Amino acid sequence: MPYEYDDQNIFAKILRREIPNNTVMETDYTLAFHDINPAAPDHILVIPKGFYVNYDHFAAEATDAEVVDFTRVIGAISHAIKATPASGGNGYRLITNAGHDGVQDVPHMHMHIIAGRRLGRMIQPA
Ligand code: 5GP
């Protein structure tokens, strides 16, 4: 079943500048901004500017330039906030949720960068 992109989702509105965001980094293909409800001292959302619903949609249909840029932005931000072990940080976690079981709230592809405290087990018991 092909994905249908809902252009009324909150991140589409952020990309159209209809609602504000606290930008961390922006490139031709990617926007990164602070999560409005942070789960840790550092909680940044990275989104492609293209209209992809989730990660598998992005992986299948994004251009190589979009995929490379998205990946590099995540790496650069993780380093800039000094979360990477290479920058002397204590580490970080990347999360992308998809669909019902993944508990995805916003249907525009996004990666969470979460850092700044020990995060505990990756998955809660059911
Ligand atoms: P999901 O559950 O879809 O993986 O995550 C959606 C994330 O978007 C949540 O962490 C939520 O706090 C964040 N969020 C929802 N609405 C807004 C908003 O208007 N602005 C920002 N910056 N983040 C938002």
- Is residue 96 included in any domain, yes or no? yes
- Is residue 78 included in any domain, yes or no? yes
- Is residue 106 included in any domain, yes or no? yes
Range of the domain at 100: 10-115
Write down the pLDDT at residue 52: 98
Distance 39 CA to ligand 1 centre (A): 11
- Is residue 121 included in any domain, yes or no? no
- Is residue 1 included in any domain, yes or no? no
Distance spanning both ends of the chain, measured CA to CA? 28
Q: Write the pLDDT tens digit of every residue in 61-84.
A: 999 999 999 999 999 999 999 999
109 Cβ contact partners less than 8 Å away, ≥ 6 residues apart: 47, 48, 52, 53, 54, 55, 57, 58, 96
**Helices then strands (H, E): number in the chain?**
3, 5
Q: Looking at residue 71, which CATH number applies to its domain?
A: 3.30.428.10
Give the closest residue (by CA) to ligand 1 atom 24: 36
Distance 95 CA to ligand 1 centre (A): 13
- Is residue 105 included in any domain, yes or no? yes
Write down the pLDDT at residue 126: 73
Residue spans of the chain under pLDDT 50:
none
Average pLDDT across the chain, whole number: 97
User: pTM of the full predicted structure?
Assistant: 0.97
- Is residue 122 included in any domain, yes or no? no
Q: Specify the number of domains making up the chain.
A: 1
- Is residue 120 included in any domain, yes or no? no
34 noted as active-site residue? no
